């Protein structure tokens, strides 16, 4: 299989999407962060010294989603029409699961944007709580679903 980000001389290139049809494209990604009980309780009760961790993580996730093309070299700058984030509290872990949904009508998908948003949101949680728990673990950053485009629908089983 030939990689689309390489030209005929195996040099890196950005894929030409100009001939692709505009379709509505949506991607949802998720990831988790596990931590100590103390860090979890301080975040949930909003008693960390750095302010509201989860609200800040949502804002960071949105910003990360919007700035993906600045971070991932072959990603196209996109006109996103929607970015939504949700944080699920996981007291049994303890930790949190962050979901990011990205949407647009265009010629290329938004999987990388959703994945980048999740990563940046989780890193923000780590940054804001690292004084409490440096052993936090970010894991399972993954695509949950995508729709639109030539490859069609994907849903993680």
Flag whether 104 is in a domain.
yes
Predicted local distance difference test score (pLDDT) of residue 15: 78
- pLDDT tens digits, residue range 6-23? 777 778 777 778 888 889
Flag whether 141 is in a domain.
yes
Flag whether 73 is in a domain.
yes
Flag whether 20 is in a domain.
no
Flag whether 152 is in a domain.
no
Q: What are phi and psi of 131, to 5 degrees?
A: -70, -25
Active site positions, annotated? 127
Flag whether 109 is in a domain.
yes
pTM of whole model > 0.85? yes
- Domain span at residue 51 reads 34-146
Flag whether 9 is in a domain.
no
CATH number, domain of 113, equals: 3.30.70.640
Peptide bond into 94 cis (omega under 30): yes
Place of tokens 């872990």: 93
Place of tokens 């998720």: 30
Q: How many domains, in total, are found in the chain?
A: 1
For the sheet with 82-90, list strands across it: 82-90, 95-106, 23-34, 137-147, 154-155
Flag whether 60 is in a domain.
yes
- pLDDT tens digits, residue range 45-97? 999 888 899 999 999 999 999 999 999 998 999 999 999 999 999 999 999 99
């Amino acid at each position: 299989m030939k990689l689309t980000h390489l030209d005929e001389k195996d040099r890196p290139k950005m894929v030409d999407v100009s001939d692709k049809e505009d379709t509505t494209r949506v991607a949802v990604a998720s990831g988790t962060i596990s931590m100590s009980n103390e860090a979890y309780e301080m975040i949930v009760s909003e008693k960390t010294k750095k302010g509201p961790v989860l609200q800040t993580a949502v804002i960071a996730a949105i910003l990360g989603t919007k700035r993906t093309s600045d971070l991932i070299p072959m990603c196209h700058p996109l006109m996103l029409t929607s970015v939504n984030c949700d944080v699920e509290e996981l007291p049994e872990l303890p930790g949190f699961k962050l979901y990011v949904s990205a949407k647009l009508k265009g010629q290329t998908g938004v999987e990388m944007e959703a994945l980048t948003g999740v990563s940046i949101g989780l890193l923000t949680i780590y940054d804001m709580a690292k004084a409490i728990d440096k052993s936090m673990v970010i894991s399972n950053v993954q695509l949950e679903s995508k729709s639109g485009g030539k490859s069609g629908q994907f849903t993680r089983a």
